[in-house]
Amino acid sequence: MNMKWIRRSVVTFVTAVTIMLTWQVSAQAASTLWTYKSGNEVKWHQLTDLSTLLVGTDDGLALLDPEKGTEVWKRSDLKKVSQYQVEEVKGTPLLLVSANEGGFSNKTKLVALDITTGETIWETEKLKGATVGFLPVYQKNMVIVLTSKGASASKDKPDMIALDITTGEVVALANLPTYNPNNRARLSSAQLRNRAITDTFEPGSTLKPFTIAVALETGRVTPQTTIQTAPGSLTIGSATIRDAHAEGLLTVEQVIQKSSNVGAAKIALSLTPESMWNLFQSVGFGSVPRLGFPGEANGRVRPHKGWRPIEQATMSYGHGISVSLIQLAHAYGVFARDGDIVPLSITRIDAPPTPRVVISAETARSVRHMLELAVRPGGTAPRAQIMGYRVAGKTGTAHKQENGSYAPNKYVSSFVGFAPASNPRFVVAVMIDEPSTGGYYGGAVAAPVFARVMAGALRLTGVPPDAPMKPIEVPP
């Protein structure tokens, strides 16, 4: 019988110990080509294309010849593979697998294999209690890995998005926890939602740079203007705004570096509500990103005419406004691109996009310098530093809203930044919903994820370093 490998004719069956590949030759007849017997239970199988069949069992990982049922290779050391993906990286087809040694409470490692031989190309260290999400970047020939670490990491819900700010292309995107599309028994709608695009949150202090940009543009302040933030609190009506740490007299630069809520609120109250609203609208807050992706969120920016002083003050540090993660990443492009912004795209851009000017280049560069200070020692995000590259970015920590009020012990932590700061190429935004390990401040839980993703992106795409290759200083 002359068998032709036609996609519509492949039918697979799985039992506890065997895989049978049945070839359907007509509507009335079918024949069994072969039977593959494994010593342990077959957990999953996948036709990676029409010439390879990947099989995962309790005693290892195997690649079969679909025509003969024979093992091309087998890796007995890779047990309990929870996720896998085939990607072409710089012309080489790689099989990426996430292997757990005893479930999420124990150790996980990520391994890249040559899919033709099964040989290891590289592998990560074993991460205790980690879940791994794969981020394929087809257009850029790179693969980025996002991990959520810690003993309770399976409860965390991190999202990440990376943009090429020169083109507006979305080059990487991930939401965790992820799911196995081959196992839909316990699949929920929440797992299917692309939260980085469809969900909104209060951005917290990641919004402070935009407040400062308005003040610089309107001439209300300069980077060296001093703001008295003592005693670390500010009362407006019946509400009191507080800083995490009382700082005293700060320059505008230091308001960003130290992330002072009081400083940002005082600067905001010197502005007109309309001027703040105009900039928020200009960078895309409150508007659908127009990616063409189903369920895009537009966020919420209330009309400025109804703002009360306390609302204007809290909006300066990201409370009372909601954005999606992709909106926030896109908006930071204004500081990375010397004041203009380009449209987003989830497909490859062949022609250079037409930028739209939002703020002056001088203002954008001033804010960029402030964002660099925030990442250096003395700022709120030294864990976002990358050896060999200058990094600019801002942390965000906000109480989570539940049932119309702020939950006292639930947080949304974030970090948004770009690099290299001397000539920015990528913007990466990370948001962790209800972090359960390592604290809850954005600088402690989101900034390290940013650093790992950004470092991999810069090096894999060959972006030249713009800082000395010396060890970075990270606080204990």
- For 331, the token pair is 């908006």
394's CB contacts (< 8 A; 6+ apart) are: 205, 206, 208, 209, 256, 259, 371, 374, 380, 381, 415, 416, 417
Catalytic residue, from 38, 98, 148, 205: name it.
205
Angle between helices 208-217 and 261-269 (to 10 degrees): 40
E strand or H helix that includes residue 172: strand 169-175
260 is catalytic: no
As a whole number of angstroms, the distance between CA 120 and CA 111 comes to 7
Residues 23, 24, 30: CA angle, nearest 5 degrees: 90
Q: How many CB atoms lie within 10 A of CB 278?
A: 14
Distances (CA, A) of 20 to 13, 31, 44, 63, 322: 6, 10, 13, 15, 52
Which residue in 460, 429, 38 sits closest to 197, CA to CA? 429
How far is the C-alpha of 375 from the C-alpha of 400, rounded, in Å? 25
The whole-angstrom separation of Cα 261 and Cα 313 is 9
Q: Which residues are catalytic?
A: 205
